[in-house]
Amino acid sequence: MKTCYLLGYPVEHSMSAVMHNAAFKQLGLDYRYELLNVQPPNLEKIVNSFRDPSFGGANVTIPHKVEVMQHLDEVDVEAQRIGAVNTIVLNEDSLVGYNTDGRGAIKAITGVYVPVNGADVVILGAGGAARAIGYHLSLNAGRIQIFNRTEKRARELADYISGLPECNATVQSQEYTHEKLKTCIGDADILINATPVGMYPKIGVSPIDPELLGSHLLVFDSVYNPLKTRLLKDAENAGADTLSGLRMLVNQGVSAFELWTGLNPPGELMYQAARGRLSDE
């Protein structure tokens, strides 16, 4: 049997095992998926233990998406561009890092709503998820405004993305103030929360004031547990369109599954398995 893992800290909230194990069972694969709590000082040791034939693959989540890159033998070009890894594959004796987050997010948005071409987007956060989503948005969006509590990180990310040759958007960082948020969100088509704010167990918190939301927006929260975050509830009350992070989770998981096994998994089954578990909680 091969074992796949989710590396993060904490990981108890994750639905990755639920959806991947459902897909393994459906396809009759001798695989299992486990959640692995890894504190930062132990990351290198855990990653090195994956150089074993029983290793089936891994996903990487907060807070390891950037740090894990230095412990891999190779990093895919797209993941290098993004500057974060969320998927690890053992290729013969080499551990190779990929990033499927950004593609998963864009597919979630365009699968339910209109394409992102020319869109005005506000991103909250400057970590691994923001890097992946921001990179993919920059290929086709019109303008991207990045807000982060630590303004320096937002500025560094905006400068990095805007400096890439494939970037076709205007990418800027903004000071995280009520007035700046009000102005930028007022002009935006899409608001994306790429922070863990509102994630289980701190489910009553939103990254922004509800009065900043309006019916002109699509509000996409990369958090999926709970299925309907405080931000999404506030957005619904404001008349905005909303999108949970669960579709992003499933889309990135489908891509990771393909990298690990070479097979196309049942994406809708994975979605329903995760949604069913979230609804039960």
Q: Are residues 127 and 174 in the same domain?
A: yes
Q: Are residues 195 and 107 in the same domain?
A: yes
* Domain span including residue 160: 102-244
**What confidence category does residue 62 fall into, taking pLDDT thresholds of 50, 70 and 90?**
confident
Q: What local confidence, expressed as pLDDT, does residue 205 receive?
A: 95
Q: For the domain that residue 77 is a member of, what is the CATH number?
A: 3.40.50.10860
pTM for the model: 0.92
Asked if pLDDT for residue 115 goes beyond 90, the answer is no
Asked if pLDDT for residue 136 goes beyond 90, the answer is yes
Specify the 3-state DSSP secondary structure of 98: strand
Asked if pLDDT for residue 281 goes beyond 70, the answer is no
Stretch 32-57: mean pLDDT: 97
**What confidence category does residue 112 fall into, taking pLDDT thresholds of 50, 70 and 90?**
confident
Q: Are residues 17 and 133 in the same domain?
A: no
Q: Are residues 239 and 106 in the same domain?
A: yes
What is d(CA 146, CA 257) in angstroms, rounded to the nearest whole number? 30
Q: What local confidence, expressed as pLDDT, does residue 211 receive?
A: 97
Stretch 89-95: mean pLDDT: 95
Q: Are residues 55 and 155 in the same domain?
A: no
From the candidates 65, 152, 182, 233, which is the catalytic residue?
65
Say whether 65 is catalytic. Answer: yes
Q: What local confidence, expressed as pLDDT, does residue 188 receive?
A: 97
Number of domains in the chain: 2
Residues 6+ apart with CB under 8 A from 266: 23, 26, 27
- At which residue do the structure tokens 């949604």 appear? 275
Q: For the domain that residue 187 is a member of, what is the CATH number?
A: 3.40.50.720
What is d(CA 232, CA 243) in angstroms, rounded to the nearest whole number? 8
What is d(CA 135, CA 34) in angstroms, rounded to the nearest whole number? 29
Q: What local confidence, expressed as pLDDT, does residue 267 receive?
A: 96
